[in-house]
Amino acid sequence: MNPNYKLPESVLVVIHTRDGQVLLLERADHPGYWQSVTGSRNPGESLRQTAVREVAEETGLDASRYPLTDWNLENVYEIYPEWRHRYAPGITHNTEHVFGLELPQPLPVRVSAREHLGYQWLPWQQAAQKCFSPSNAEAIRRLSQR
């Protein structure tokens, strides 16, 4: 496989506090599209390693300092046509693995300017409504059950 292609396997990391505040990031390539931390797995990397790396890259936070939990939840979704060029020819779907990262309180983050315009902490109900991705919104709604 061409090393320049992304693997069709990714993580979604819902960063939250015990009292239900959720961190959302605004996509730089789509202003107004808000989401949790997401990112593709690199070859040879475990899903946990992917989650830790993506949290660091997108927020500047060290996920190894806080409880990072694999929610044992997978979402398979169709890759938006505008992003399919990042994957090998013929790849149309991605498998997303959901993790939660619990922080003691909302913390300031350092967003990657290449990927995000800004961030905000919101109560989980508002965060779920603001997400453009249905799987991301559903993962946030699951916080009420955790």
The CATH architecture that domain 9-145 belongs to is: Alpha-Beta Complex (3.90)
Cβ-based burial of 77 (10 A; exposed 0-12, middle 13-18, buried ≥19): middle
Report the pLDDT averaged over residues 86-109.
96
DSSP 3-state of 42: coil
Q: Is the pLDDT of residue 76 over 70?
A: yes
Say if residues 101 and 14 touch (Cβ distance below 8 Å). Answer: yes
Question: CA 61 from chain center: how many Å?
Answer: 13
What backbone phi and psi angles, to 5 degrees, belong to 18? Answer: -60, -35
pLDDT digits (tens, 9 = 90+) for 6-58: 999 999 999 999 999 999 999 998 899 999 999 999 999 999 999 999 999 99
**Could you tell me what percentage of the chain is helix, strand and coil, using 3-state DSSP and rounding each to the nearest 5?**
30, 40, 35
Q: Is the pLDDT of residue 71 over 90?
A: yes
Report the pLDDT averaged over residues 67-95.
94
Say if residues 94 and 50 touch (Cβ distance below 8 Å). Answer: no
pTM over 0.75? The answer is yes
pLDDT digits (tens, 9 = 90+) for 116-145: 999 999 999 999 999 999 999 999 999 988
Task: Please state, in angstroms and rounded to a whole number, the distance separating the CA atoms of residues 71 and 26.
Answer: 23
Assign 1 a pLDDT band (cuts: 50, 70, 90): low
Domain range summary for the chain, segments of one domain joined by +:
9-145
DSSP 3-state of 97: strand
pLDDT for the residue 2: 67
pLDDT for the residue 104: 97
Report the pLDDT averaged over residues 58-86.
94
Assigned token pair, 17:
């506090």
Say if residues 99 and 13 touch (Cβ distance below 8 Å). Answer: yes
pLDDT for the residue 108: 94
Assigned token pair, 30:
């789509």
